[in-house]
Structure 1
Amino acid sequence: MLFHGRAFKPWRIWTRRPLWLKTLIGMLTGVAIGLGWSEQALLLKPVGTLFVNTIQMLMVPLIFCSIIAGLTGLLKGQTLDRVGIRAIGYYLCSTALAICIGLMMGWLLEPGVGADMGPYQRPEAIQDLTLATALTQLVPRNPIQAIVDGKILQVIVFAVALALALNASGRRGRPAIRAFTSLADGMFTLTQMVMSLAPYGVCALMAWMTGKYGGAIMLPLLKVIGAVYLGCLLHVLGVYSSLLLLLARLNPLHYFKSIIDAQAVAFTSSSSEITLPISQTCAERRLGVSPRIAAKVLPIGATINMDGTALYQGVTALFVAQAFGVDLHLFDYLIIISIVTLASIGTAGTPGTGLMLLTLTLTAVGLPLEGVALIAGIDRILDMARTTVNVSGDLLVSVLIGRREEELDLAIYQDPRAGEEIDFSAH
């Protein structure tokens, strides 16, 4: 069969589709299989389990290497100056605040109620963990054993400490930094290879879950989308506006008008790194942030600021817990907040990052990773919203620090026509 003079090869249509679309198709195909052939669909569980095990294989070495590479790359053998320290402080605090909003949205809206996939029994070691025990176990006695056992908080604490030590070692630490950076690059490549299998793993898991629990598990996903988008709006319009008013004494309306081009690129690309040049232009030409502040603060934000991703983690973690009938307690919430805030240091601002971080979060609080399959199909829809929040937060912090350092041109910030001549299509 010829297609415009060439042999028609159907598989090329599939291979050229973006991963998010293939994953969505895989999810819907799995649901159709589960509804049409429920008994046969149960046989696909081993395929889905294999995919989940592959993701688990990646998580600890990925987060360990990426935190070391991210933190040492941020420091670059030097001590951070006042601007850098202030930027990191703002970013980490806003990330922690964002995940609190996500947890609140999950608690209030209860997106997982109605899925009825439980009951699920969490590991006893996690159920019996108390705040006092967790604090005493925060620093690993044996870091290698912590890595083997997958004790996420201990691994993160050791990775941060080792990154700081390697950076302080100067030239002697550079070979190890290069090695960990190379390993981090390799782990990201391996992650991309594994995620290319997501359409098939998600299809198998969704077929098994739909065959076992019925099609009712799909409806709560709409509530997840609504909860995440509502939380993102609350964070950007409520929290960011309040910070501008309280900390910088600035009118938020011009801020929102000035960043709309960066938000549009972030929403469509789902990548903070791709949006970075647009963000820098908006910060300098429309918000009046000095080039020195913008050049220093925005790249840090693209590396560690994960407000939208953190909010998404809170909603989806509670969704999985509610879907499987698991009651989370205050201590579990504290673990989720700590994991997401600390892990954001080494998490790349690229599409799909949030899904990998969700796996880390679920593992830390002992929730079933089958929940990842439920989220994977709609992850792109959620990714667009959370990346928009991430980029908005980057620009907010640049304005706050510019104002604090007296490097914010108020004439530009208050000019409603500032930057109108900029052609962003050239970027």
Structure 2
Amino acid sequence: MLSALRRVPFAVQVLIALVLGIVLGVVARQLGPVGEAGDPNWLAVTLDTIGSTFVALLRTIVPPLILLAVISSIANLRNVTNAARLAGQTLLWFAITALIAVAIGIGLGLVMRPGVGTGVDPSGVSEPSSTGSWLAFLDSIVPANFLGLTASTSADDAGVLSTSLSFNALQLIVIAIAIGIAAVKVGKSAEPFLAFTQSALDVVLKVLWWVIRLAPLGTVGLLGNAVYSYGWTTIGALGSFTLAIYIGLALVLFVVYPLLTLANGLSPVKYFTGVWPAVQLGFVSRSSMGTLPVTQRVTVTNFGVPQSYASFAVPFGATTKMDGCAAIYPAIAAIFIAQFFGIDLSITQYLLIVFVSVIGSAATAGTTGATVMLTLTLSTLGLPLEGVGLLLAVDPILDMGRTATNVAGQALIPAIVAKREGIIDLERYNAPRGLDGFVSEDSTTDTTATVSAEAAASETTGATAEPAASTAKSSSGA
């Protein structure tokens, strides 16, 4: 049974899980609440447990993944010719695509006017439990401790106190950048440390791969619970807003990105067939960092980007390149909230939306959700934060499309920069993809990148997205 399941392509497994999740969610709604207290029925509880467990596993692996991936990516630049130029070009294209995405978001908000006539009572909305501001953003950059850990204490209904630990992704990124730069500056004596970092990253990627293989099961739970919890009523009340978000995401993913590939002499069709494994996993996991190993394998194996450059650009993009969460979504959401509360935005405020989307995207930090980015935008514009509570009702549904767009952009930019710098393997980029969505290792001569033996082995066994070694050195450099 297990061997038969492994022969089913990962994409097919996810699609089956999507359909099954919707069906089970509808069934759970038909069963209805249990008892006078209106508790969820057994099926709803099961779906919620499965989905939350999958997300918890992803969140658990993210802190070490951020720390090790960023350190290794920075250190790996020492093997790349014109590293400073490549890093600058990567940042430039991050900003260009973010500007295009936020412009689309503002345009859709003005044309579709999603905040007008929603039929939702404004008195029923409330501020979110956590908000973002520029001061908080700047404060959060300064590490409070080596691991970026924060503790919070809360009391339940019985008055029992409990303490929970969480990590600050921004602080982890700052710590990792500092360590990576220091290791490069130290030189030869830091080689054992960098070798250990590489080995530790390979181990973490292996564990993450085990979690990724659970994605179809997690999809059933997440989507089924979303259908049970929200149904179509809430989505209908915010139908214009949900539609505007997905139209914006579709325009970026299916129009802007193909035009950019075409403008840089790359095939849009090959781009879509190549990036699809990362897009589908991003849609399910709702985490750019959780999708990182698949995004990197797509970039190297399908697009022919040198491993030495991809090992920097992809992890860096997974923490800062967020066209869905940091551009499309906050732009449309800010306009929605302004229209909902009858507030007219000035030209200056629209320019501020653009500024926050381009500069503040690191606030999303590659994890699930975009509430911090939205509240950062609203606080900058002086808009009421109460509107965020209204939008949180449909956030899980929106976050799937946002993350899929994010990871598509995170794979696109390294390909564009590599093409413009003349270091891309065009034979590999244009090679046919296999049933698992990846270019076969023996279908073309790979002159620019080396994929790990584990990744190659996974293709022969039917696994579709085994993570490549994220910082393996290129045999030819750049």
CA pair 111-184 structure 1, distance change in 2 beyond 3 A = farther
Aligned residue pairs total 307
CA pair 218-255 structure 1, distance change in 2 beyond 3 A = closer
Is the Cα–Cα contact under 8 Å of residues 119 and 326 in structure 1 kept in the other structure? no
Tell me the distance in 2 between the aligned counterparts of 1:325 and 1:293.
48
Tell me the distance in 1 between the aligned counterparts of 2:431 and 2:73.
34
Tell me the distance in 2 between the aligned counterparts of 1:253 and 1:340.
29
CA pair 341-180 structure 1, distance change in 2 beyond 3 A = farther
Tell me the distance in 2 between the aligned counterparts of 1:181 and 1:104.
42
TM-score for both structures, normalised by structure 2 = 0.56
Question: SS in structure 1 opposite 2:290?
Answer: helix
Tell me the distance in 2 between the aligned counterparts of 1:220 and 1:304.
32
Is the Cα–Cα contact under 8 Å of residues 363 and 372 in structure 2 kept in the other structure? no
CA pair 280-17 structure 1, distance change in 2 beyond 3 A = closer
Paired residues for 1:326-345 under 5 Å: 326-345=343-362
Counterpart position of 1:115: 118
What's the CA shift string for 1:399-421, capped at 9, x where partnerless? 01111222211111112246354
Counterpart position of 1:91: 94
Greater fraction helix: 1
1:301 alignment partner, one of 317, 322, 325: 317
Paired residues for 1:137-176 under 5 Å: 152-153=133-134
Counterpart position of 1:82: 85
Per-residue deviation, 1:18: 4.6
Paired residues for 1:322-401 under 5 Å: 322-352=339-369, 354-401=370-417
Question: SS in structure 1 opposite 2:362?
Answer: coil
Counterpart position of 2:432: 416
Is the Cα–Cα contact under 8 Å of residues 270 and 351 in structure 1 kept in the other structure? yes
1:265 alignment partner, one of 272, 281, 285: 281
TM-score for both structures, normalised by structure 1 = 0.62
Is the Cα–Cα contact under 8 Å of residues 267 and 385 in structure 1 kept in the other structure? yes
What's the CA shift string for 1:354-399, capped at 9, x where partnerless? 1222122222212222211211111011101110111010111010
Question: SS in structure 2 opposite 1:395?
Answer: helix
2:296 alignment partner, one of 274, 280, 294: 280
Tell me the distance in 1 between the aligned counterparts of 2:234 and 2:338.
13
For 2:395, give the aligned amino acid. Answer: D
Is the Cα–Cα contact under 8 Å of residues 320 and 371 in structure 1 kept in the other structure? yes
Tell me the distance in 2 between the aligned counterparts of 1:75 and 1:343.
21
CA pair 262-185 structure 1, distance change in 2 beyond 3 A = farther
What's the CA shift string for 1:189-247, capped at 9, x where partnerless? 5599xxxxxxxxxxxxxxxxxxxxxxx9974511111111111111122211221122x
Unaligned 5+ runs, structure 2: 1-40, 54-68, 124-130, 153-163, 169-232, 441-458, 467-478
Tell me the distance in 2 between the aligned counterparts of 1:268 and 1:151.
26
Counterpart position of 2:338: 321
Tell me the distance in 1 between the aligned counterparts of 2:361 and 2:111.
25
State the structure with bigger RCO (CA 8 A, min sep 6), 1 or 2: 1
Tell me the distance in 1 between the aligned counterparts of 2:271 and 2:94.
18
RMSD of aligned residue pairs (Cα, Å)? 4.1
2:49 matched to 1:16?
yes
For 2:403, give the aligned amino acid. Answer: T
Counterpart position of 2:158: none
Per-residue deviation, 1:275: 0.8
Question: SS in structure 1 opposite 2:304?
Answer: coil
Among all aligned residue pairs of Structure 1 and Structure 2, give the percentage whose two residues are the same amino acid: 31
